[in-house]
Amino acid sequence: MNKGILAGIVLAAAGFAAGRFLPVQAPPAVLPAPPVTAVAAPAAGAPVRSVAGPAPQREVTVEEGGSIQAAVTAAQPGTVIRIKPGRYHESVYIDKDDIRLIGVIEAGKRPVLDGEGNLNDAILYSGNNVVIENLELRAYKGNGIMGQAGNNFEIRNNVVVGTGVYGIFPQLGQNGIVEHNVVSGIADAAIYVGMSDNIHVAHNEVFDSVAGIEIENSRHAIVENNYVHDNAGGLLAFITPGLPIKTTYDVVFRHNFVLHNNHVNFGAPGSTVAGIPSGTGILVMAADDVIIEGNVIADNKTIGVLIVDHAHASNITADPESDPNSDRVAILDNTMLHNGYDTITDVKALMLAELKQGEADIVRAGPSTGSCIRNRERYVTAGVGDFAECGFADTYDRVNYLLPPVPPRVIESAERGKVAYLGICSGCHVYSGRLIGPPVQVIQALYMDNPQALADYIAKPVKKRPDYPEMPPQDYLDPQTRLAVAQYMLSLSK
Ligand code: HEC
């Protein structure tokens, strides 16, 4: 997540005030519905509801007192690992395909993976066709569930509380479902879909986190029927510049409750999400073809829906390969009530520039071409005067963007460093900007001639910078992969 939205709005307001972006009230054109993309649901038959590859062939059970990791290590691909209720204090790494970790719920009790505030990650997977269900994850420092380049994943019906930087974080995967999870108390994003395609995020409750659900550098995602409340920012679709995948487009936010996302922003000081103004319902930044439909967006004190480009967010190093604008945004019928009632001066300035009164539901700053809005008179808006009338009312033609199981991602040994970098490090490091960790350029200056020293550092990081959080140890990667990722990181040039 980028920082500087707030500062960005200052810029936008100055632009308006100086007459740089005079609001133009063109007679609205009517825009047709975007075509359902070629990668969408299969043409015939029932929509895909399960993506995780072949049916399992065997089953093992882990009892309280046993080790989940030991069961994973011993398991052949095609194993269901059932985990009985009880407390487990461990981190679980799944580096093989076709593994299902399924909690057994008895009398309302689930298995609890408790990091006790000293373990980094609850579950990391890099295999394909991984299913993680019915678990409770608590008190980790890094991630609740992080996927690193696995395809065809299902993450379902888990309770994730206070697991550090991210709650559920599939990174660099294709074809995945994140549904019926309850995620809270996360210092960055409760659910963070990064650099992924064909994703369905539905029926989750996310709250008390800095960001609710983020769709970042990802395509073909539907986010529906979620209850997103009491975060600093609710739903976000955006591009983080400097990552190897350069686009975010074709995102549908529909039928979500996005309510009172007014939590104090407790993002790590200086961290990237720390810049979201508390009270933001939906944020679209540099993402294209985002459809906002049928949501209830209420009681978000700063703004209901904020649409911006990269140029209006400071502290973002523009990426010449990423289009900075949010184009073809479609705001269909939503219920928006009582947003923007205690907003930042910058939103007030944008309203003032258009001589608008009232509490702002929707504000757009920065260029946006091909965007549209239905029934604009229902909302209090600034900056959407040149949005056309949408010529379509809903997205019922697309049930989801899931596919029958796609081929597993096969990682050649020559690619190991690259894939580890994309799947793991790029969640916190970008080339020239600050994400969670320092820029790659800074790291290169420190380690240019010594990849082995970098590889050693990541196995056992020590705290170096007072203004950054701790870097989580990567000692679950084998030594060759650590060296390969170090070499890859040092070889980057953008
Ligand atoms: C969850 C976030 C996160 C992830 C994932 C992460 N890092 Fe970091 N990294 C950090 C933070 C935060 C720091 C700064 C720590 C400090 O200065 O105390 C850091 C610092 C570093 C440093 C600087 C060390 C020094 O001597 O100053 C290197 C090298 C590094 N990371 C490499 C990596 C590599 C390689 C990966 C992927 C395998 C990776 N990091 C994954 C957050 C992360």
Measured from the CA of 489, which atom of ligand 1 is nearest?
Answer: 35
Query: Is 417 near ligand 1, meaning CB less than 6 Å away?
Result: no
Q: What b/e sequence results for 332-342 when a residue is b if at least 16 CB atoms lie within 10 Å of its CB, and e otherwise?
A: bbbebeebbee
CB atoms within 10 A of CB 468: 17
For 223-239, what is each residue's pLDDT tens digit? 999 999 999 999 999 99
Query: Is 443 near ligand 1, meaning CB less than 6 Å away?
Result: yes
Query: Is 468 near ligand 1, meaning CB less than 6 Å away?
Result: yes
148, 186, 428, best to mutate for ligand 1 pocket (most atoms within 8 Å of CB): 428
144 in Cβ contact with 119 (< 8 Å): no
Rounded CA-CA distance 282/278 in Å is: 11
Q: What separation in Å is there between the alpha carbon of 471 and the centre of ligand 1?
A: 5
Query: Is 437 near ligand 1, meaning CB less than 6 Å away?
Result: yes
Structure tokens at 68: 């989940």
Structure tokens at 337: 């009530």
Query: Is 425 near ligand 1, meaning CB less than 6 Å away?
Result: yes
Q: What separation in Å is there between the alpha carbon of 454 and the centre of ligand 1?
A: 10
Structure tokens at 281: 């319902």
Q: What is the pLDDT of residue 42?
A: 44
Q: Fold for 416-491, please state it.
A: Cytochrome Bc1 Complex; Chain D, domain 2 (1.10.760)
322 in Cβ contact with 316 (< 8 Å): no
Percent of the residues in the chain that have a pLDDT greater than 70, as a whole number: 88
Q: What separation in Å is there between the alpha carbon of 426 and the centre of ligand 1?
A: 10
For the chain, give every domain's residue range.
Answer: 416-491
Q: What separation in Å is there between the alpha carbon of 74 and the centre of ligand 1?
A: 31
181 in Cβ contact with 207 (< 8 Å): no
For 368-405, what is each residue's pLDDT tens digit? 999 999 999 999 999 999 999 999 999 999 999 999 99
For 179-212, what is each residue's pLDDT tens digit? 999 999 999 999 999 999 999 999 999 999 999 9
192 in Cβ contact with 145 (< 8 Å): no
For 43-55, what is each residue's pLDDT tens digit? 445 666 789 888 8
pTM score, whole prediction: 0.84
